[in-house]
Chains A and B, each alone.
Chain A
Amino acid sequence: NAGVTQTPKFRILKIGQSMTLQCTQDMNHNYMYWYRQDPGMGLKLIYYSVGAGITDKGEVPNGYNVSRSTTEDFPLRLELAAPSQTSVYFCASSRKPGELFFGEGSRLTVL
């Protein structure tokens, strides 16, 4: 049972480059989330989705975009990468509020 799968696990970007972090879940969960976690800090919500075709901004959406064309997939797009986007990114899904299942994280460095 794969759960929540994130790719890539590690990535180094140059300033100004763009990339997409992939997230897919096989639990048929309606709710999906993207968080970022800076060293020694808590998780900050970037975007979330309550179902296919619906997305909402979280605390820190600037510099990111998402789409939710299917229940399974919730990719996070970084446009014009900046050093401030260096972080660990976690994708999560849930069947009901609060019970989030997380992927293993994607470590992104922007140089």
Chain B
Amino acid sequence: RKEVEQDPGPFNVPEGATVAFNCTYSNSASQSFFWYRQDCRKEPKLLMSVYSSGNEDGRFTAQLNRASQYISLLIRDSKLSDSATYLCVVNRNNNDMRFGAGTRLTVKP
């Protein structure tokens, strides 16, 4: 089993749609969690951290369920510029950061 697993996608949605991505992790000792965004042929960039109580950043909402070892990302009112691959990232002990394989999103006009 992979340590970090994500919905494979791809997700193709119209502008204005709401879309949700899921991620599960296997190491129960994992300490912190993040979502990154990667545009085609570019480096990943931090989108947001994921806090236990859930957190929002504009149109983006992240949730964490430690009991189920599950992380989610919700994007509301999708924009064309949201088209990218979204990577779930888990911090194991000692800052050993593990990435999921990513979920590709395409937002269409």
Contacts and interface: CB of A to CB of B under 8 A. Distances in A.
Q: How big is the B interface, by class?
A: 20 to 34
30 contacts: A31-B95, A35-B99, A41-B101, A42-B6, A42-B99, A42-B101, A42-B102, A43-B44, A43-B87, A44-B99, A45-B96, A45-B97, A48-B96, A48-B97, A56-B96, A59-B98, A94-B95, A97-B32, A97-B97, A98-B34, A98-B49, A98-B89, A98-B91, A98-B97, A100-B44, A100-B89, A100-B97, A102-B44, A104-B42, A104-B43
Contacts of B42: 104
Contacts of B4: 42
Q: How big is the A interface, by class?
A: 20 to 34
Interface of A: 31, 33, 35, 41-45, 48, 50, 56, 58-59, 90, 94, 97-100, 102-105
B45 to A, nearest CB: 7
A43 B34 contact: no
Given A33-B97, A45-B96, A97 B91 contact: yes
Question: Does more than half of chain B's interface fall in helix, strand or loop, or is it mixed?
Answer: strand
Interface of B: 4, 6, 31-34, 36, 42-46, 49, 87, 89, 91, 94-102
A37 to B, nearest CB: 9
B98 A102 contact: no
Nearest to A96: B95
Given A42-B102, A97-B95, A99-B49, 10 more contacts: A42-B4, A43-B87, A44-B99, A50-B94, A56-B94, A58-B96, A90-B44, A94-B95, A97-B91, A98-B91
